[in-house]
């Protein structure tokens, strides 16, 4: 289906923390556009000061997160064909900034909380010798986590943060993925399990899997990162046999 020449209306959130409202815009579409192209067109043709964060426009940097028709997505990877198809005729396509983070202006939000948590996570601690040896099977598990592009759509989606505001108790899916990536690194020697339970609050996750559904990098956040971390917390704190075994052997 070619959208070339179609007039399409948009309803975009404009404004900042003091004053914001939804404003309507109309532009003419071209073939093969993504939502970000439309926002740029509005910016270049109508509203030069429309604020939008973006960089690579190829789904690799994770800057242009926004909520399109109520669903958080990367604007650069959302094709207009799909959005037009899901939006009923005569209703504008709605674009809002991410709702879980404080609004700066228009489609830009303050995501600094994610960076603050990242700083609290203990960095990798491996052998001092260079030329580390581990095999591809071991690498695979960790590489999967490292595909994260830090768009923070998962943290925006997670109801623990979105609905319950537990920013002080819970690290959010993105940073749990980061913790998993260090914890499961074949040569890392650091123990982060106590913090994962206490400070990063893995138990707040009730595995409703919205983070996995929303991840544009296709990371199986729930199955591969959070649940294995939960299982490791069970090993340490809830499994009586393992606890007795550790007492007997004196091993961690």
Partner 1 sequence: MGEGFKLPVLNGLGKTNRIDNWWSQPLIMGTGLTITLIYTFWRLFIYDLEISYHLNGSTVVSPLFSPNILEWELFSLNEWAKTAPNWINAAILIIWIPFGFRGTCYYMRRVYYRSFFASPAACWVDEPQINKSLGYKGEKMVFIINNLHRYFLYAAIIILLIKWWDVTHTMHFNDGFGISIGTLVMGIEAFLLSMYVTSCHALRHLAGGVLDRWVSGVSKLRGKMFKKISIINRSHGFWFWASLIFVFLGDLWVLAVNKGYLSDIAIFVI
Partner 2 sequence: MSIEYKHHEFDVIVIGAGGAGLRAAIESARSGVKTAIISKSLLGKAHTVMAVGGCAAALQNADPRDNWKVHFHDTMKGSKWLADWKMAEFHAKEAPERVRELEQWGAVFDRTNNNLINQRNFGGHTFPRLAHVGDSTGLEIIRTLQEKGIHSGIDIFMEYTVTDLFKDNEGKCIGCIGYNRVDGEIHTFSAKSIILATGGITRCWSICSGSWEYTGDGHALALKAGAELRDMEFVQFHPTGMVWPPSVRGILVTEGVRGEGGRLLNSENDRFMFNYVPEMFAGDHAETIEESNQWVEEVVSGKLATVRRPPELLTRDVVAKAINSEVKAGRGSPHGGAFLDISHRGEEAILKKLPSMHHQFKELAGVDISKEPMEVGPTAHYVMGGIRVDAKTQESCVSGLFACGEVASGLHGANRLGGNSLSDLIVFGKRAGEFASKNAKDKSQPTIDEDEIQKAASKILAPLMNKEGENPGKIYDELRDMMQENVGIIRTKEEMVSALTKLKEFDERQKNTFSGTSRKYNSGWHQALDLNNMIIVSKAATLAALTREESRGGHTRDDFPTPDDDYWGQILNIIWMDDGEVKIKQEEKEEMRDDLKDAIKEVKAMIAERAAEHGGEK
**Which of the stretches 31-39, 48-56, 74-82, 220-228 binds partner 1 when contact is defined by CB under 8 A?**
220-228
From partner 1, partner 2, none, interface partner of 85 (C-beta below 5 to 8 A by class): none
From partner 2, partner 1, none, interface partner of 62 (C-beta below 5 to 8 A by class): partner 2
Contacts of 68 (CB under 8 A, 6+ apart): 35, 75, 78, 83, 93, 94, 95
HSE of 175, CA atoms in CB hemisphere, 13 A: 29
**Which of the stretches 27-35, 48-56, 58-66, 209-217 binds partner 1 when contact is defined by CB under 8 A?**
209-217
Least Å from the CB of residue 152 to partner 2? 10
Q: Is 205 in the site for partner 1 (CB under 8 A)?
A: yes
The Cβ of residue 145 has, within 10 Å, a number of other Cβ atoms equal to 23
Considering only residues 84 through 143, tell me which ones interact with partner 1, judged by CB under 8 A. 86-88, 91, 94, 96-97, 99-103, 110, 113, 134-135, 137-138, 140
Contact pattern for partner 1 over residues 54 through 83, marking x by CB under 8 A: -------------x-xxxx-----------
Considering only residues 213 through 252, tell me which ones interact with partner 2, judged by CB under 8 A. 218
Q: Is 223 in the site for partner 1 (CB under 8 A)?
A: yes
Contact pattern for partner 2 over residues 8 through 37, marking x by CB under 8 A: --------x-------------xxxxx--x
**Which of the stretches 87-95, 103-111, 161-169, 198-206 binds partner 2 when contact is defined by CB under 8 A?**
103-111
Q: Which two tokens stand for residue 126?
A: 């491996």
Phi-psi region of 204 (alpha: psi -120 to 50; beta: other; left: phi over 0): alpha
Q: Which two tokens stand for residue 130?
A: 């260079």
Return the number of the residue (30 or 94) whose C-beta is nearest partner 1: 94
Chain contacts with partner 2 (rule: CB under 8 A): 16, 30-34, 37, 40, 43-45, 48-63, 77, 79, 104-106, 108, 110-112, 115, 118-119, 123-124, 126-128, 130-136, 139, 142-143, 146-150, 182, 185, 218
């Amino acid at each position: 289906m070619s959208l070339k020449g179609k007039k399409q209306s948009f309803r975009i959130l404009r404004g900042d923390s003091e004053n914001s409202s939804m404003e309507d815009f109309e532009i003419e579409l071209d073939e093969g556009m993504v939502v970000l192209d439309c926002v740029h067109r509005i910016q270049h043709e109508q509203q030069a000061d429309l604020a939008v964060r973006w960089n690579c426009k190829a789904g690799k940097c994770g800057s242009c997160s926004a909520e399109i028709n109520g669903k958080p997505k990367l604007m650069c990877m959302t094709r207009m064909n799909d959005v037009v198809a899901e939006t009923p005729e005569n209703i504008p396509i709605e674009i809002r900034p991410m709702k879980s983070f404080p609004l700066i202006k228009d489609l830009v939000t303050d995501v600094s909380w994610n960076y603050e948590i990242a700083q609290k996570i203990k960095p990798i601690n491996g052998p001092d010798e260079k030329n580390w040896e581990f095999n591809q099977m071991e690498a695979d598990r960790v590489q999967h986590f490292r595909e994260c592009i830090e768009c923070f759509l998962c943290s925006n989606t997670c109801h623990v943060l979105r609905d319950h505001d537990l920013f002080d108790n819970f690290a959010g899916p993105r940073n749990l993925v980061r913790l998993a990536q260090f914890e499961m690194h074949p040569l890392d020697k650091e123990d982060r399990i106590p913090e994962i339970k206490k400070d990063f609050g893995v138990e707040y996750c009730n595995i409703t899997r919205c983070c996995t559904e929303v991840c544009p990098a296709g990371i199986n956040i729930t199955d591969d990162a959070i649940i294995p971390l939960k299982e490791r917390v069970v090993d340490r704190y809830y499994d009586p046999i393992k606890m007795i075994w550790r007492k007997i052997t004196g091993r961690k």
